[in-house]
């Protein structure tokens, strides 16, 4: 064993190291309380009706998340209203859902957060040209057969808002609770007189109705008024020929109203997965379109639900710093370890500065204890040398000397030990001089 190790006092080291290890252990335990587990490799999203825009966008999200090893499972629904119901029901296996602006009202016990606005989701009102002649008012639909979207859909929610604003209800108009691609055929065949549809221009039903002969898109003369009365709506203008310049679709500038599509997630969704959802939203919705400029979406919206902290950070700084340089799994691991290491280092640094002083104090205290015994012995013999025989005095002194010789000290404290031994010899001379044989 090296000389330096032999000089160490393992007893003192143990009593110094033990409390330090306990403090470090407590620091680890405390830091662990703030570390989230590793992100799951599966995320469930509530979409919308079969073939709808929500479902199509969910497929695009799935492709993006698959690159990071995350499986996105889409669950079809009736639409935005049902998506919200699912998110609020803890028994339903749903993490995130598409929501149409204006369909959700925050409840007292809600634990949902928003990821911002994704895209404009216009309301399209199509009607049969043989029934209406270039109508621009919803009021003209009164008394006719109108498809208002399926139960639980955002289309029905918005349709009923606009119809109610014009005094139209089931008592004076036949309202058909139906949605889906089959509405195009029913409108063309005359089974329906008008159809309400909510969705982007890429929606298959919207696209089909724009090209259906005998069907026309309503331009809302009251679009600005609707936007003022219903704050979740924005007034949009679909320019003439924006859909198809060759066929001149639409044949005139068309005024529409539009809510915003957004994503709501449960508050306990893993932050790393929310970061990925934000990146997927940027890829899927960032392209230019008829109603939006490049990179206009996603953006922080004005939802009644609070904006997720991860989404807020994304809008300010973009992709998380570590994910810019590391694979997703590595960035997540490092991020979790940093949460653990920062408080640990904050504890270890002062502890390592304090440990040598504590060790030195213990070594010095053992030397000082022998000094105390020696001083007591010296005082006793000076006051009453005849109390014991010389042999008894020397035996007590030899015991102190033996203890002093057993003290294992590093070189740093050797001078104190040598000084103690010198004082022991001085006391020995005093005993030999003053004690009786």
pLDDT band at 85 (very low <50, low <70, confident <90, very high): very high
Report pLDDT digits (tens) over 269-281. 988 899 999 999 9
Q: How far is CA 333 from CA 110, 326, 338, 344, in A?
A: 30, 10, 9, 17
pLDDT confidence of residue 7:
44
What percent of the chain lies above the pLDDT cut of 90?
Answer: 52
pLDDT confidence of residue 208:
92
pLDDT confidence of residue 282:
94
Q: How far apart are the first and last CA of the chain?
A: 45
In this structure, of 213-217, 235-239, 318-322, the range with the lowest mean pLDDT score is 318-322
In the predicted model, is pLDDT for residue 264 greater than 50? yes
pLDDT confidence of residue 8:
46
Report pLDDT digits (tens) over 62-80. 999 999 999 999 999 989 9
In this structure, of 32-46, 96-110, 367-381, the range with the lowest mean pLDDT score is 32-46
Report pLDDT digits (tens) over 356-413. 666 666 777 777 788 788 888 888 888 888 888 888 888 888 888 888 777 776 666 6
**Residue 304: CB partners within 8 Å, gap ≥ 6?**
104, 105, 106
> Average of pLDDT values for 343-368?
68
CB 278 within 8 Å of CB 298: yes
In the predicted model, is pLDDT for residue 2 greater than 70? no
In the predicted model, is pLDDT for residue 135 greater than 80? yes
pLDDT confidence of residue 20:
64
Listed ranges 96-100, 311-315, 372-376; the one with the highest mean pLDDT: 96-100
- E strand residue ranges, 58-187: 71-75, 96-100, 112-120, 123-128, 145-147, 174-176
> Average of pLDDT values for 320-345?
66
Domains and CATH numbers, the chain: 3-27+343-434 (no CATH), 40-118+265-320 (3.40.190.10), 122-258 (3.40.190.10)
Q: Is 406 helix (H, G, I), strand (E, B) or coil?
A: helix
The residue among 22 and 376 whose pLDDT is bigger is 376
Rounded to two decimals, what is the model's pTM? 0.69
> Average of pLDDT values for 11-35?
60
pLDDT confidence of residue 343:
60
Report pLDDT digits (tens) over 287-307. 999 999 999 999 998 778 999
Of the candidates 258, 251, 261, the one whose C-alpha atom is nearest the C-alpha of residue 223 is 258
In the predicted model, is pLDDT for residue 334 greater than 70? no
pLDDT confidence of residue 3:
44
Provide the 8-state DSSP code for 46: E
The residue among 175 and 203 whose pLDDT is bigger is 175
Mean pLDDT, all residues of the chain? 85
pLDDT confidence of residue 1:
43
pLDDT confidence of residue 352:
66
In the predicted model, is pLDDT for residue 332 greater than 80? no
Q: How far is CA 64 from CA 69, 70, 239, 277, in A?
A: 9, 9, 32, 9
Q: Residue 220: exposed, middle, or buried by beta-carbon count in 10 A (0-12, 13-18, 19+)?
A: buried
**Residue 240: CB partners within 8 Å, gap ≥ 6?**
248, 250, 251, 252, 253, 254
> Average of pLDDT values for 15-26?
63
């Amino acid at each position: 064993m090296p000389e330096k190790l032999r000089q160490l006092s393992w007893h003192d080291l143990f009593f110094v190291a033990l409390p330090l290890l306990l403090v470090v252990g407590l620091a680890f335990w405390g830091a662990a309380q703030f570390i989230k587990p590793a992100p799951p490799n599966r995320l469930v999203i509530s979409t919308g009706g079969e073939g709808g825009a929500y479902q199509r966008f969910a497929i695009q999200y799935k492709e993006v998340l698959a690159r990071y090893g995350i499986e996105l499972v889409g669950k079809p629904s009736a639409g935005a209203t049902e998506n919200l119901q699912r998110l609020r029901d803890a028994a339903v296996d749903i993490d995130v859902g598409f929501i149409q602006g204006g369909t959700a009202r925050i409840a007292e016990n809600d634990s949902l957060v928003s990821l911002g606005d994704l895209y404009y989701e216009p309301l399209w009102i199509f009607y049969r040209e043989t029934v209406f002649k270039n109508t621009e008012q919803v009021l003209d639909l009164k008394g006719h057969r109108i498809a208002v979207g399926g139960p639980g859909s955002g289309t029905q929610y918005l349709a009923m808002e606009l119809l109610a604003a014009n005094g139209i209800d089931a008592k004076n108009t036949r309202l058909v609770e139906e949605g889906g691609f089959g509405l195009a055929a029913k409108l063309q065949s005359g089974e329906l007189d008008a159809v309400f549809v909510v969705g982007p221009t890429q929606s298959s039903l919207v696209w089909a109705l724009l090209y259906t002969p005998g069907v026309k898109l309503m331009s809302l003369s009251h679009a600005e008024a609707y936007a003022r009365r219903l704050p979740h709506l924005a007034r949009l203008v679909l320019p003439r020929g924006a859909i198809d310049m060759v066929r001149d679709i639409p044949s005139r500038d068309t005024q529409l109203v539009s809510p915003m599509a957004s994503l709501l997630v449960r508050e306990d969704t893993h932050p790393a997965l929310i970061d990925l959802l934000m990146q997927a939203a940027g890829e899927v919705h960032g392209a230019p379109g008829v109603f939006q400029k490049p990179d206009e979406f996603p953006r922080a919206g004005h939802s009644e639900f609070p904006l997720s902290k991860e989404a807020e950070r994304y809008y300010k700084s973009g992709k998380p710093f570590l994910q810019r340089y590391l694979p997703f799994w590595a960035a997540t691991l490092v991020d979790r370890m940093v949460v653990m290491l920062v408080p640990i280092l904050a504890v270890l640094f002062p502890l390592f500065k304090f440990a040598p002083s504590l060790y030195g104090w213990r070594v010095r205290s053992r030397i000082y204890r022998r000094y105390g015994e020696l001083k007591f012995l010296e005082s006793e013999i000076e006051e009453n040398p005849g109390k014991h025989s010389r042999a008894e005095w020397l035996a007590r002194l030899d015991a102190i000397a033996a203890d002093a010789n057993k003290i294992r000290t590093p070189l740093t404290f050797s001078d104190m030990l040598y000084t103690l031994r010198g004082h022991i010899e001085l006391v020995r001379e005093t005993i030999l001089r003053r004690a009786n044989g």
